Structure 1
Amino acid sequence: MQHGKYRFIVGFLAAPLGLYAIFVVWPFIQSIYYSFTDWTGLSPDFQMVGFDNYTRMFHDDIFWKSLWHSLLFALLLPLVTISLALFFSFMINVGGRRRRGGPAISGVRGSSFYKIVYFFPQVLSIAIVALLFAFAYNPDSGAINSLLRGIGLDGVQPLWLGDPNLALWCVMAVLVWSTVGFFVVLFSAGMASIPADLYEAALLDGAGRAKTFFRITLPLLWDTVQSGWVYMGILALGAESFAVVQIMTTGPGGPDYSTTVMVLYVYQKAFRDGQAAYATTIGVALLIVTLLFAAVVMRLGRRERLEF
């Protein structure tokens, strides 16, 4: 019976594990291999060059800029996005005042409408979001500067994406706006599963909204928050940041490489400059950064599991 059980399990796992190895693990191995060559990506001919690409990467100022920008994305975007999502979802589900004849615990008035409003950016493609905000940030005809002029702030007309000191923060704001709604819905679903008796008991004991959040809501949602943090960090290091920077910024990645992130730098080296081997070297560095980020978040966020 035991041998039959194991054959049954292996039979089900063989196909998905095989596909995973072919389409996920093998490309990683190939990338690491090509990082030790001089492959251009345009010719099948290449030679082994050892650690030359890695030596070049460590002396590449643009690489260090892109690494710093990616780290800022990975650290600040999850912090801001998840904090906002937790606040909004708490207000939607628990933060309302008690109404006469109604339940002791409820969300603010119009909470169902707010869920739709917050989730709306998820309906739009990230490319469409980036284009819309690129028009909004236009210093001459954009909606933001037009609004500033309309309220009498003609002297406050930033260049936004044209200013090296502001461009990166403008891109981050777009990513926060486009992703916070997803986490609002995610955390709202988690909060809806927390028994209302816990909140009612806390209110009877005199606990305020803030104490209720930190003593009840956050501990019981911690596993979801931790998973969301890792997910948001991976988005910030990967496709989401690439799409927004590629579409919105000059260069792209400018001005003066002020918005260049690692995934964009990989793309530029591979498809613009024809340096596929060097691009895979930067890709290996991005893989290491992503794995370290996930490991650190999971390690620092480890705590005893609470059940209800």
Structure 2
Amino acid sequence: MRLRRTLRKDLFVTAFLICPTGLYAAFVLWPYLETFGYSLTDWSGVAPPSRFVGLENYSRLFKDEVFLAALWHNAQLLVVLPVVTIVLALFFAFMLNVGGRRGAAGVRGIFGSAFYRTVFFLPQVLSVAILVIMFQAAYRSDSAGLLNGIAATLGLIDPRSPLPWLASPDAVLWCILAILVWQGVGFYLVLFSAAMQSIPKEIFEASLLDGASRRQTFMRIILPLLWDSVQTAWVYLAIAAMDAFALVASLTPGSSYGGGPDHRSEVLATYLMRNFLAFGNAGYACAMGVVIFVITLALSLAVLRFTRRDSVEY
């Protein structure tokens, strides 16, 4: 009888899993396998592949100066974006939840914390199209641009010689990075705030009674208890750093899909799309897609492995 009930239960669960598993295999796993297969051919993206080239596309990648430049730009984003975003989000979350220290009702955030939380989260709800329009106005290369106007008003630049911003080879990548940080901080602030609010207030009260400073409270109490959330944020930001396609393609100069000036803002995703749609090198673009997949997967596993700590209970 027990065996029959167990068998019925297993069949019931299996029946419910067949459909979603099949959909996942058809729309996620199979396209990955197809991409890898096409990367071994000279596929043009239109007609079926006519010639098997093996690993030739992969050998070309690491001799391609534009691809290597794009890989370097993604690496820069990968180092800077998670660090800056997480540090700012942790700082603001701490101030909005604990920064007010002891009040009449115990530990609290700074005055107006609910309003600041809404303001910080606002960029997260804006679509990429709105971000592009906003920052096209902010980064305009003439005196009518927002940043140039502010700098000229403060006397930092000559109004007759405005800064080129997105047209500057040295500044363009950092302009894109600033947008990514500005957009992402609000989301991770809310994530870390929710984690902080789950920490019992008695822990903060005990640290105050022991004379702990804000820095000690953050480093020795907040950060260890929030480490799982920080680890998750790091994985998502690493994935975002390996993409950045929409902003680069829409904001930076270039004949197709941005990446300029002189490929100084090129990222792997924009170079992939240019080869696939503009140049007709679909097999070569598929090889780039496989490389991006392998790098992203390796980074995610590395972050999860090297940031793993024993869970802290309270």
What is the TM-score of this pair, normalised by structure 2? 0.94
Question: Given the alignment of the two structures, is residue 53 of structure 1 paired with residue 63 of structure 2, yes or no?
Answer: no
What SS does the corresponding residue of 1:95 show, helix, strand or coil?
coil
Cα distance in 2 between the residues matched to 1:147 and 1:165 = 21
Q: 1:37 aligns with which of 17, 41, 59?
A: 41
The number of residue pairs the alignment matches comes to 304
Q: Quick one: which amino acid aligns to residue 55 of structure 1?
A: S
Aligned to 2:272: 266
Q: 1:121 aligns with which of 94, 117, 123?
A: 123
Question: Given the alignment of the two structures, is residue 299 of structure 1 paired with residue 302 of structure 2, yes or no?
Answer: no
Cα distance in 2 between the residues matched to 1:75 and 1:54 = 25
Q: 1:289 aligns with which of 291, 295, 298?
A: 295
Q: 1:192 aligns with which of 186, 197, 203?
A: 197
What SS does the corresponding residue of 2:107 show, helix, strand or coil?
coil
Question: Given the alignment of the two structures, is residue 74 of structure 1 paired with residue 66 of structure 2, yes or no?
Answer: no
Shift of 1:196: 0.3
On the 8 A contact 2:97/2:113 being kept in 1, the answer is: yes
Cα distance in 1 between the residues matched to 2:130 and 2:249 = 12
What SS does the corresponding residue of 2:182 show, helix, strand or coil?
helix
Cα distance in 2 between the residues matched to 1:210 and 1:15 = 51
What SS does the corresponding residue of 1:50 show, helix, strand or coil?
coil
Shift of 1:45: 4.4
On the 8 A contact 1:171/1:245 being kept in 2, the answer is: yes
Q: Quick one: which amino acid aligns to residue 99 of structure 2?
A: G
Aligned to 1:24: 28
CA offsets, 1:234-274, max 9 Å, x none? 12212xx1011011100110111111100111111101111
On the 8 A contact 1:96/1:108 being kept in 2, the answer is: yes
CA offsets, 1:36-87, max 9 Å, x none? 0000002234221111111111110111111111111122111111110000
Shift of 1:98: 2.7
What SS does the corresponding residue of 1:105 show, helix, strand or coil?
strand
CA offsets, 1:64-123, max 9 Å, x none? 111111111122111111110000011000011433xx1221000000000010011012
Q: How does 1:252-263 map to 2 (within 5 A)?
A: 252-263=258-269
Question: Given the alignment of the two structures, is residue 136 of structure 1 paired with residue 138 of structure 2, yes or no?
Answer: yes
The alignment's C-alpha RMSD in Å is 1.2
On the 8 A contact 1:70/1:237 being kept in 2, the answer is: yes
Cα distance in 1 between the residues matched to 2:58 and 2:156 = 49
Structure 1 stretches (4+) deviating beyond 3 angstroms? none
Aligned to 2:281: 275
On the 8 A contact 1:130/1:174 being kept in 2, the answer is: no
Q: 1:146 aligns with which of 145, 149, 152?
A: 149
On the 8 A contact 1:98/1:104 being kept in 2, the answer is: yes
Q: 2:113 aligns with which of 101, 105, 111?
A: 111
Cα distance in 2 between the residues matched to 1:227 and 1:261 = 24
What residue ranges of structure 2 are gaps of 5+ in the alignment?
none
What is the TM-score of this pair, normalised by structure 1? 0.96
Cα distance in 1 between the residues matched to 2:32 and 2:251 = 29
What residue ranges of structure 1 are gaps of 5+ in the alignment?
none
Shift of 1:153: 2.3
Cα distance in 2 between the residues matched to 1:192 and 1:130 = 34
